[in-house]
Amino acid sequence: MTFLKYLMLFMIALVIVVVVVVGYFFFTAKVTVAGCDINGSSAGQQADLFAQMKSYVALDAFPGTMFTDEAIGDAADYAFITYTLQLSNQCLVPIDMIEIQVIPETGDVLQIGDFDVHSLEPKSSGSVSATILTAKNSHSVREVLITYYVWGVSFSIRYTCG
């Protein structure tokens, strides 16, 4: 009888240790932004991409996020801005999926969809980028919302690029 009693105490202690370790990994899952690179070019320099985005919008089949319902004009009036964020996973568990959304400002038209699955292995770093189409005279400072998932639970970071 005492053997079963000690086995039960050992199993309870083991369950408590496992719950504490899993909780530690879950609550210390932290992604930080190490930096943000911004590259811009006029839409006229990327005429093929601009024409493709304009045709998608005209067909109401745009693969991304529309910021306005207004019709898109000439390429000379717009610019593409790409935000590349360097992210660091400081946890011992992998980050399942990472996505970023640029928070629009006046003059922003759309954000091109990114259908690649981005993830970070434990104790590693990587980069994720997003491209927006905006009015030519807009500044490049934007706030981005980074959403990442650990074991199916989402976490968010707001970061200002620029």
CATH of the domain at 110: 2.60.40
The whole-number average pLDDT for the span 138-159 is 90
> 115 lies in a domain?
yes
How does pLDDT run across 102-134, given as a tens digit for each residue?
999 998 999 998 888 899 998 899 999 999 999
pLDDT at 10: 93
How does pLDDT run across 10-39, given as a tens digit for each residue?
999 999 999 998 888 777 767 889 999 999
- Domain range for 141: 34-161
> 53 lies in a domain?
yes
pLDDT at 132: 94
pLDDT at 29: 67
Given a cut of 90, whether residue 82 has pLDDT beyond it is yes
- The rounded mean pLDDT for the chain is 89
> 47 lies in a domain?
yes
> 84 lies in a domain?
yes
> 62 lies in a domain?
yes
pLDDT at 1: 64
pLDDT at 138: 87
Measured on CA atoms in the order 56, 62, 64, 69, is the torsion positive or negative? positive
DSSP state of 138: -
> 19 lies in a domain?
no
In the structure encoding, which two tokens stand for residue 132, read together?
Answer: 């927006």
pLDDT at 105: 92
Q: Check residues 151 and 88 and name the one with the higher pLDDT.
A: 88
Q: State how many domains the chain has.
A: 1
Inter-residue contact 129 to 4 (CB < 8 Å): no
> 105 lies in a domain?
yes
pLDDT over 70, % of the chain: 99
